[in-house]
Amino acid sequence: MKFFVDTAEIDQIKELNDLGMVDGVTTNPSLIAKSGRDILEVTKEICSIVDGPVSAEVVSLTADDMIAEGRKLAKIADNIAVKVPLTWDGLKACKTLSDEGNMVNVTLCFSANQAILAAKAGATFISPFIGRLDDINLDGLELIDDIRTIYDNYGYETQILAASIRSANHMSECAKIGADVATAPANVIKSMANHVLTDKGLAGFMADIEKAGIKIL
């Protein structure tokens, strides 16, 4: 499973990228706005750091405007994936932009039916939102499983990009289900290294080293 980091913070992206923990980046206008910098400027810098896809989201609502905006975003760098919402206009934009050879990430997916439509419209990525479904007492991971089954049944090439990930458990569950990509905040990716028994074992090891008076450096 590929890891995308869901952030516009350059330092976070660089740290994870240097460790080989980043296969791509997802951004949106809200994330970039927090940086206080120009959207196109930040997006271009991210694309220069990461080799994999960088999702840049349109802010228009009509198909024609999304297409025009998507074409502009695609010119930033070769690894831009234009992110459009899963609306009927978004699907129209997806079809046009993907036919023109652009990567397209269809976002805000909350049902298997929506995922089928995105695949038929030529989406490179479909982004089902796990956490937001969990918030309304629906099973977000079940949606990932349903989409995986449907895509495998019919050979759709659209990659499942699990989004709205809130925990390290979400990451491992998505990997077990077979999500192609999981995008998560940097702190969630880093939390995957944590385990109480690792901490306990290390504390015991260090206590033994101190008692023995061993010094390496």
**Active-site residue list:** 83
DSSP state of 182: E
Of 108, 101, 117, nearest in space to 26 by CA: 108
Phi/psi of residue 132, nearest 5 degrees: -70, -30
DSSP state of 180: S
Tell me the angle at which helices 88-99 and 112-120 cross, rounded to the nearest 10 degrees.
30
Residue whose tokens read 């995957």: 192
DSSP state of 216: -
Cβ neighbours of residue 55 closer than 8 Å, sequence gap 6 or more: 4, 24, 25, 26, 27, 28, 80, 81, 82, 83, 105, 107, 125
What is the rounded CA–CA span in Å between residue 99 and residue 121? 9
Question: E-strand spans in 58-208?
Answer: 80-85, 103-109, 125-128, 159-162, 181-184
Work out whether strand 80-85 and strand 54-57 pair parallel, antiparallel, or are unpaired. Answer: parallel
The first and second tokens of residue 26, run together, are: 């997802």
